[in-house]
Amino acid sequence: MDNSRSNSFLRSREGVLTVVALAVLLAAPLVAQAAGQTYFISLASRVAILALAGVGLNLALGSGGMISFGHAAFFGLGGYVAGAMVFHAQEGGQFLGLLAGTQQALLSWPLALAVAGIAALFIGVISLRTSGVYFIMITLAFAQMFYYLALSFPTYGGEDGMTLYERSTLGGLSVSGDLPFFFVCFGVLLLALLLCSRLTGSRFGAALMTARQNETRLATVGINPFPVKLTGFVISAMITALAGVLLVEQNGFASPSLLSWHRSGEIMIFVILGGVGRLIGPVLGAAVFILLETVIGGYTDRWQLVLGLVLLGIVLFARGGLVGLLAGRARHD
Amino acid sequence: MSAAFLLEQLLNGVQFGVMLFLMSAGLTLVFGVMGLINLAHGSLYMVGAFVCAWVSGATGSFWLGLPAGLAAAAAAGAAVEILVMRRLYDRDHLDQVLATFSLILIFSEGTRWIFGNQPLYLNIPPLLSGVIPLPGDGGYPLYRVAIIAVGIVVAIGLYLLISRTRLGMQIRAGEADREMIGALGVDIKTLYTVVFALGAMLAGAAGALVGALQSVQVGMGESVLILAFVVIVIGGIGSIKGALVAALLVGLVDTLGRAFLPRLLTLVMPASDAGTTGSALASMAIYLVMAAILAWRPKGLFPAHG
Amino acid sequence: MTLRKILLGAAAATTLALVSGAALAEGTKIGMITTLSGSGAGLGIDVRDGFMLAVKQGGGKLGGKAVDVLIEDDAQAPDKAKQIAEKFVKKDEVKVMTGIIWSNLALAVVPGVLKDGVTYVSTNAGPSQLAGEKCDPGYFNVAWQNDNLHEGTGKYVNDAGFKNVFLLAPNYPAGKDAISGFQRYYKGGVAGSLFTKVGQTDYAAEIAAIRDAKPDAIYFFLPGGMGIAFMKQLQQAGLKVPVFGPAFSFDQDVLPAIGDAALGVKNASQWSKDLDNPANKTFVAAFQKEYGRLPSLYASQGYDAAHLIGSALKVADPADAKTFQAAVKKADFASVRGAFVFGPNNHPVQDIYVREVVKEGDVLTNKVIGVAFRNHQDAYVDLCKMQ
C-alpha cells in the first residue's frame, strides 16, 4: 500500500514538480563545476541547507499545525554545538566542561542533534500547553532567551561569534571541497524529505494531521494528542538543527545571528512561500528566496524594498505558495 | 541604595510599561476585532516618530509635530488596511505573518528612502523639559511623568470608547461574533478600517512620544514590536485590560531586572562576572516571565474569549 | 501568472548579471561589503561615499590604475556578509576587499577570504583577535584597533584628574574591550560599571544607578542609536556630570540627532575635520561639495582606504599577493589624519586626538583640543607572531 501511494504521488503534478526541483538542484552545481563557476556550488549548498531548515519546520507547521516562531533556537543550537566541538578541537577546552572537542562529524553532528532534541522536548512540553497565537509567541520567547544567552556567553565569542578554521571530516572523508560538501547537504536534504514523506504517510503522520485539524476527534479514537504533537515537534526541531549544523560547517562561523528572530521568520517564509504542508514546498521557497535576495542585492541597495514587494505580491495573489501555483491546491485543503 | 533610587526605578518601570501599553493596545484591539496578526505594527510606531521629528524640525514646534505624527500613522494604517490587510482577514495566521513581514521590509526601506540615512533629531518640548525633585537629592524628568499621564488618559479613553460609545459596541460585537455584526447592518469594512487606523494612531503616538527620548531611526520599531507581542500574549489577546496589566508587569520586570540583578548577583559571585551575567539574565527576564505565565495560564492573564 | 513572470524576470536578470559581470571586467576589481540598509546604514554609506570620492577624484582610477568597485549591502548580518564575500571571491575573482563596519562581520568574513589569497583592508572594524594571535600578512587595518579610541579617552580622563568614573557599555565583546581599553590608561577609581542590553534604547534604569553612585565623570561606549538615546536621556534627567566617550558617539553622523545635549563633550578620535594638513583640507572640501554634508570619521576611513589601495596598485598587481601586500604595508599615501604608518601587525601607529563638540553657526561638529597619544600602537601587537 505504501508503494502504490508513493507511485501515485510520483505521477501527480506535485510529484513531477518534486522530482524536477530536486533534479535541478542536483544538476546546477554539476553544470557550475563544468563551467568553472564554483560560486554557484556554494549557492546551491546554501539553498539545500536552508531548504532543510524549512523541511524541518514544515513538519511541525504543515503537518502538525504547530506554528513555531522559534525554530531559530534549534537551528542555532545545532550550529553552536557542532561549532563548539570544532572550536574546542582547535583551541582546547571542553564542551560544557565535559567533552573534549572533535573534528569528527560522525560524533559532533549527532551530539548537536541530541542537544537540540532535548531542548525541543523541554520547550515543547511547556509550549504545547498553549495554542494559536500563544504558541507562536511562546516559541518566540524561548528563541529570544537562547539569543540573549549566546550574545552574552563569553566562551563562544558572544556577539563576535566563533571562527572555525577547518570543516569537520565525515568519517574518513574530507568535505572541505565545494562539491563534496554540496553532496553531503543534498544527501541530508533528500533523507529528510524521505523521512517526512514516510512520516506523513504513516499512522503517526495521520495522527499528527488529525491533531492539527481536530484534537477531540483524535482523543475519541483513544489517542492522546499531546505526545503525538510533542514527537512531531521534536523531530521537526532536530531536522532544523541539522540545517544549522551544516550552515555553520559551510560558513566556518557561528554567531548569535543564527538565533535571531529574523532567522525564525526567514525559515517560516521559506515554508509559506513554497506552500505549507507540501513536501517540496520549503525547497522551492528557499531556492526562490535566496535567488531573489542574491540577484536583487547585486543590483540595488534597496533590495529589501523590492524583496518586500515581491513577497507581498506572492502572498496576496498566489495562495497556497509556489507549489499551489505550479501544481494546484493541496487535496486536503 | 536609597529610597529615592528605588522610587525612581519604580517610576521608570511604570513609564516603560505605559509606553508598551500604547503599543500593545492597538495590536490587541486589531487582533481581537479582526483576528489579524500584524507584525508591521512596529513600522507604524516608526512612521509616527519620523513624521513627528520631521515636522517638529521643519516648524520648530513639537506641538505641531505630535499631531502630525499621529495623523500620519493613522493614515498609513488606514492605507495598509485598505490595500493589504483587507485581503487577509479570511486567511490563516501564516499568510498574515508573511504579508506583514513583507510590510516591515517595505516600510523600513521606504522610510530610509524618504527621510535619509541618518537618525533624525527630536527633542522634548521646553514646556516639559524640567525635572521633578524626588526625596533625597534625586530627580525625575517631567517628560516621563507626562508620558505616564498620557498612558492613563489613553487607558481611560479606550475604556470609555469601548464601553460607552456606538463604535465601542460594534467593536465588542465584532470580537464576540464576526459574522453576526455584518448581519446587523454594521458597515464592517469601515469599522475595520477605523479600528486599524485607531490602533495605528496609538502606535504612532508611542513612537512620537518615545522618539523624543531616544533615537529616531529605521528599525526602531522592531524591538518594541516583540515586546508588544509579549505584552498582549501575557495579558490575553484581545483584552485591553490585560494589555494594561501585562504592559506594567513587563515594564517593571525589565527595568527592575536591569537595575537590581547585577547588584544581587554580586552577593554570590565576583563583581566582574556579576555584571555580565546579571545583564544577560536581565535581558532574558521578560521572556522567562512570559514562558512561566503561559505555562501556568495558556491563554494569558485575562483571556478575552472564554 | 504574476509569479511566473517574476520568476522569468529573475532568470533573465541572473543571465544579465553573468554577462555584464564578464563584460565589465576591465579595471582591477575591488570588492566592498558594507552596511547600506537597516539602522547601521549611515556608517556604511559614509565609508562607501568616502571611498568612491577618492575613486571619482582619480577619474575612475586609483593609483593610476582603472578600478571597478563592486559594492554590496551586508544588512549588518554576518551570514549575509559571508555569502557576498564568497560571491566576490569565487564568481568575480576579486583580490582586494574592504568596507566591513562591524567586528562580528569582519571575524566572519576575513579569515575565510585571506585563505583564498585576498588582501583585506579594514575600513572600520578592528577586533583584537586580528591584531594579535590571528594577525595576517594579508590583513590591513586603515582605521584603528578597536581599543585605540577607548585608550585615548582613558588617558585624557586620567590626565584631567578624574578619580571616580562610572563605566557603561553594551554586554558584548566590543563593549567589554571598550571598558578594558579605557582602564588600560585610566588609573583612578570606578564608581560603578554596567553592561546594557545590545540595542537597548531606554536608559532610565542605568541613569538612576549613575545618579545613585555619584561619580565625578561618566565614560560610555554605546555605538549608533544607543548612544543617541543615552545622551538625550542623560540631559533630560538633569544629571550634570561630565561625559566622555570614543568618537563613535559624537561624530558627524549622529551629532545632529543628539542635538545640543552633546555640546562640550570631549571624545577621542584619530581624525577630525579640522586637522591641518593638505590631504584633509582637500578631502573635507570635496566631500562637502560632492555630497552636501560634512564628512564623518567613517567617511575619512573609507577615503584613506581607497588611497592606501591606490598606493599599492601603483606598483603591484593584487593577483601577486606578496608584492601587493608589501606595497600596502609601506602605506605610501597622504592620509587625511597626517602621519600614518603600519605597525608590525598591520595596524596603524598613529596620533589619537581629543576633540570637543562645538557649534559652528547652527552645525554641531568637533574641534581638536589636544592630543592623547603620539604614535600610539595597539596593545595586541606583541601577540602577533607575523614576520
d(CA B241, CA C352): 56
Nearest-Cα distance to chain B for C167, in Å, is: 11
Q: Is C91 on the interface with A (CB under 8 A)?
A: yes
Q: Do A137 and B233 touch (CB under 8 A)?
A: yes
Highest mean pLDDT, choosing among A22-36, B4-18, B40-54, B185-199: B40-54
The answer to ipTM > 0.90 is: no
d(CA A70, CA A57): 10
Of A154, A276, A308, the CB nearest to B106: A308
User: Contact at 8 Å (CB) between C270 and C375?
Assistant: no
Contacts of B284 in chain A (CB under 8 A): 144-145, 148-149
Rg (CA), chain B: 20
Contacts of B210 in chain C (CB under 8 A): 201
User: Contact at 8 Å (CB) between B108 and B43?
Assistant: yes
Q: Are residues C212 and C291 in the same domain?
A: no
Helices (H), A104-166: 105-127, 132-151
Q: Is A308 on the interface with B (CB under 8 A)?
A: yes
Q: Judge whether C292 lies within some domain.
A: yes
Q: Do C108 and A298 touch (CB under 8 A)?
A: no
* Residue B70, amino acid: L
d(CA B129, CA B143): 6
- The residue assigned the cell 548612544 is C227
User: Contact at 8 Å (CB) between A243 and C71?
Assistant: no
d(CA C214, CA C346): 42
Of B109, B218, B275, the CB nearest to C195: B275
Q: Are residues C188 and C297 in the same domain?
A: no
d(CA B243, CA B252): 14
d(CA B88, CA A236): 28
Which pLDDT does position B4 carry in this prediction? Answer: 80
Nearest-Cα distance to chain B for C65, in Å, is: 32
Which of the other chains make 3 or more beta carbon contacts under 8 angstroms with chain C?
A, B
User: Contact at 8 Å (CB) between B13 and B260?
Assistant: no
d(CA B122, CA C294): 20
Q: What is the mean pLDDT of residues B170-178?
A: 76
Of A148, A269, A316, the CB nearest to B280: A148
Helices (H), chain C: 2-23, 41-57, 78-86, 103-115, 128-131, 148-159, 173-185, 204-213, 225-236, 255-258, 278-291, 297-313, 321-330
How confident is chain C (387 residues) per 10-residue block, as mean pLDDT? Answer: 47 47 68 89 93 96 94 91 92 95 93 94 93 94 94 95 94 88 95 88 90 93 89 90 93 90 94 94 96 95 97 94 95 93 95 95 93 94 86
Nearest-Cα distance to chain B for A130, in Å, is: 5
Test the B interface: residue of A312, A322, A332 with most B CBs within 10 Å: A312
For C328, the grid coordinates are 600596502
Q: Are residues C37 and C107 in the same domain?
A: yes
Q: What is the DSSP string of C293-359?
A: S---HHHHHHHHHHHHHHHHHTT--TTSHHHHHHHHHHT-S-BTTB--EE-TTS-EEEEEEEEEEEE
For C247, the grid coordinates are 568618537
Q: What is the mean pLDDT of residues B96-111?
A: 91
Beta partners for residue B131, in sequence order:
B141
Of B98, B109, B288, the CB nearest to A311: B98
Of B105, B237, B284, the CB nearest to A145: B284
Q: Is C196 on the interface with A (CB under 8 A)?
A: no
Q: Are residues C371 and C295 in the same domain?
A: no
Q: Is A103 on the interface with C (CB under 8 A)?
A: no
d(CA C189, CA C185): 12
Q: What is the mean pLDDT of residues B86-97?
A: 86
d(CA A99, CA B90): 52
Q: What is the mean pLDDT of residues B75-97?
A: 90
Query: A106: helix, coil or strand?
Result: helix
Q: How many domains does chain C have?
A: 2
Beta partners for residue C167, in sequence order:
C193, C219
Q: Are residues C187 and C219 in the same domain?
A: yes
Contacts of B259 in chain C (CB under 8 A): 205, 208-209
Q: Do A158 and C172 touch (CB under 8 A)?
A: yes
* pLDDT tens, residue by residue, B191-210: 889 999 999 999 999 999 99
User: Contact at 8 Å (CB) between B46 and B218?
Assistant: yes
- Residue C319's alpha-carbon distances to A39, A229, C116, C146, C387, in angstroms, are 19, 57, 11, 29, 21
Which pLDDT does position C98 carry in this prediction? Answer: 97
Q: Are residues C44 and C114 in the same domain?
A: yes
For B8, the grid coordinates are 525612581
Per-residue pLDDT tens digits of chain A, which is 333 residues long: 445 555 677 778 888 999 999 999 999 999 998 888 888 999 999 999 999 999 999 999 988 889 999 999 999 999 999 999 999 998 888 887 788 888 889 999 999 999 999 999 999 999 998 888 889 989 998 999 999 889 877 788 888 889 888 888 888 888 888 899 999 999 999 999 999 999 988 989 888 888 888 888 888 888 888 999 999 999 999 999 999 999 999 999 999 999 998 899 999 999 999 988 899 999 999 999 999 888 888 888 788 899 899 889 988 888 788 888 888 766 544
Q: Is A131 on the interface with B (CB under 8 A)?
A: yes
Q: Are residues C228 and C308 in the same domain?
A: no
- Residue B30's alpha-carbon distances to A309, B92, B124, B239, B281, in angstroms, are 23, 15, 30, 11, 32
Nearest-Cα distance to chain A for C258, in Å, is: 26
Kindly tell me the sign of the dihedral angle through the C-alpha atoms of B72, B78, B83, B88: positive
CATH number for the domain that contains residue C158? 3.40.50.2300
d(CA A69, CA A137): 7
Query: A214: helix, coil or strand?
Result: coil
Query: C195: helix, coil or strand?
Result: strand
Residues 6+ apart with CB under 8 A from A281: A54, A58, A62, A271, A273, A274, A275, A321, A322, A323
Q: Which range marks the domain in which residue C294 is found?
A: 2-147+276-350
Q: Do B105 and A304 touch (CB under 8 A)?
A: yes
Q: Judge whether C382 lies within some domain.
A: no
**Strand intervals (E) in chain A:** 94-95, 99-100, 162-163, 169-170, 173-174, 253-254
More confident residue, C288 or B272: C288
Q: Judge whether C387 lies within some domain.
A: no
Contacts of A303 in chain C (CB under 8 A): 37, 73
Residues 50-109, chain C, touching B (beta carbon < 8 A): none
Q: Judge whether C385 lies within some domain.
A: no
Nearest CA in chain A to C127: A160
User: How are beta strands C266-269 and C243-246 bridged, if at all?
Assistant: parallel
Q: Do C196 and B258 touch (CB under 8 A)?
A: yes
Half-sphere exposure of C333 (CA within 13 A, CB side): 26
Query: C18: helix, coil or strand?
Result: helix
Q: Do A297 and C103 touch (CB under 8 A)?
A: no
Phi-psi region of A321 (alpha: psi -120 to 50; beta: other; left: phi over 0): left
Of C194, C236, C259, the CB nearest to B143: C236
Rg (CA), chain A: 20
Helix, strand, coil distribution of chain A in percent, nearest 5: 75, 5, 20
d(CA B204, CA B48): 4
Rg (CA), chain C: 21
Q: Which range marks the domain in which residue A15 is found?
A: 2-327
Count of B–C CB contacts within 8 Å? 128
Q: Is C223 on the interface with B (CB under 8 A)?
A: no
Contacts of C83 in chain A (CB under 8 A): 46, 294
Of B130, B138, B255, the CB nearest to C211: B138
Q: What is the dihedral of CA B72, B78, B79, B84, to 10 degrees?
A: 140
In this predicted structure, the answer to whether residue B71 has a pLDDT above a threshold of 90 is yes
Q: Do B141 and C238 touch (CB under 8 A)?
A: yes
Q: Is A144 on the interface with B (CB under 8 A)?
A: yes
Nearest CA in chain C to B17: C202
Helices (H), A202-255: 203-213, 215-220, 225-251
Calculate the CA C31 to chain-centre distance.
17
Q: Judge whether C252 lies within some domain.
A: yes
For C52, the grid coordinates are 568612491
* pLDDT tens, residue by residue, B118-140: 889 898 998 998 888 877 767 78
Nearest-Cα distance to chain B for C78, in Å, is: 18
For A66, the grid coordinates are 504547530
Beta partners for residue C168, in sequence order:
C194, C220
Interface of B with A (CB under 8 A): 31, 37, 84, 87, 91, 93-95, 97-99, 101-106, 108-110, 113, 226, 229-230, 233, 237, 276-277, 279-280, 283-284, 287-288, 290-291, 294-295, 298-300
Nearest-Cα distance to chain A for C331, in Å, is: 29
User: Contact at 8 Å (CB) between C259 and C356?
Assistant: no
CATH number for the domain that contains residue A63? 1.10.3470
Q: Are residues C7 and C88 in the same domain?
A: yes
Q: Judge whether C386 lies within some domain.
A: no
- The residue assigned the cell 534625586 is B138
Test the A interface: residue of C5, C107, C197 with most A CBs within 10 Å: C107
Q: Judge whether C327 lies within some domain.
A: yes
Q: Is C387 exposed, middle or buried (0-12, 13-18, 19+ CB in 10 A)?
A: exposed
Residues 6+ apart with CB under 8 A from B163: none
d(CA B143, CA B130): 7
Which pLDDT does position C3 carry in this prediction? Answer: 46
Q: How many domains does chain A have?
A: 1
Q: Is A150 on the interface with B (CB under 8 A)?
A: no
